[in-house]
Amino acid sequence: MSSPGTRTRAALLAIGDEVLRGEVLNTNATFLSERLFEIGIEVGEQLVVSDDPTAIRTALTRLRPIYDVVICTGGLGPTEDDRTVDVVSDLLGVDSPAHEASLDAMKQRFSTHGFEMTPNNLRQVRIPAGGEALPNSAGIAPGFRIRLGGADAYFLPGVAREMEKMFISEVSPRLTRLVAESGIGRPAVRTWHIYGMGESHIDHRLAGLLATVDNATLHFRTSSPENHVKVVVRDTDPERAQATLERIDRDL
């Protein structure tokens, strides 16, 4: 966990051969990055790996000592290539029993719709022992939260609709509390839309703007026919962050 007064940093890990083959666009990363920024968490890395257990394990092993938060999407379903629970359980040396509440909900859902359960359906209601189940209000497979070394790790479905609902209802409140404990909350942000001037000229004109500000950063993005310049201010005091942002705006 980040120490008081330091930024909370996160890594995003998408798991799935279909993403690597280009069959599925990784919109989950866009959604998560936007929401984490709003909460006040800095995303330091986005990674996509195959369904291969070694690839998943290697990625988690590398990420867990570097980041405060690791959010993984994909690999929680009932099929043979859904291996996330198995890899995490093996990595931690624990079993992966069925989560009883999720199992009951799945049975009820299948019964209501007249579906027949097959043995492999049980795969998608397992979580590693010691993990905290995250209810799936839009599907069957629960997500789960668990400690991976120094990281607060969240494992969510790869299906965007399920992932988004689970993040909003289950993950976002937990991460908001985590950020509050770090002492640095949501950043103060402002974006300027500039016409008639190239990116290099804008950068030249703004050189030195933040020379006396050590908690603000500038970010440039071209979106023809305009250029966007975003300033982000982070501070332990939200009011002070906003005041700094206003001062930068006046100096501009």
Tally of CB atoms within 10 A around 214: 6
The answer to whether 27 and 111 have CB atoms below 8 angstroms apart is no
Residue 53 scores a pLDDT above 90: yes
> What's the average model confidence in pLDDT over 124-135?
98
User: How is residue 218 written in tokens?
Assistant: 């500038």
Confidence (pLDDT) at 2: 56
Phi, psi angles (nearest 5°) of residue 65: -85, -5
Q: Which of 189, 126, 147, 137 is nearest to 167 (CA)?
A: 137
**Domains of the chain (ranges, CATH numbers):** 8-182 (3.40.980.10), 188-251 (3.30.70.2860)
For 62-82, write each residue's pLDDT tens digit.
Answer: 999 999 999 999 999 999 999
Residue 1 scores a pLDDT above 80: no
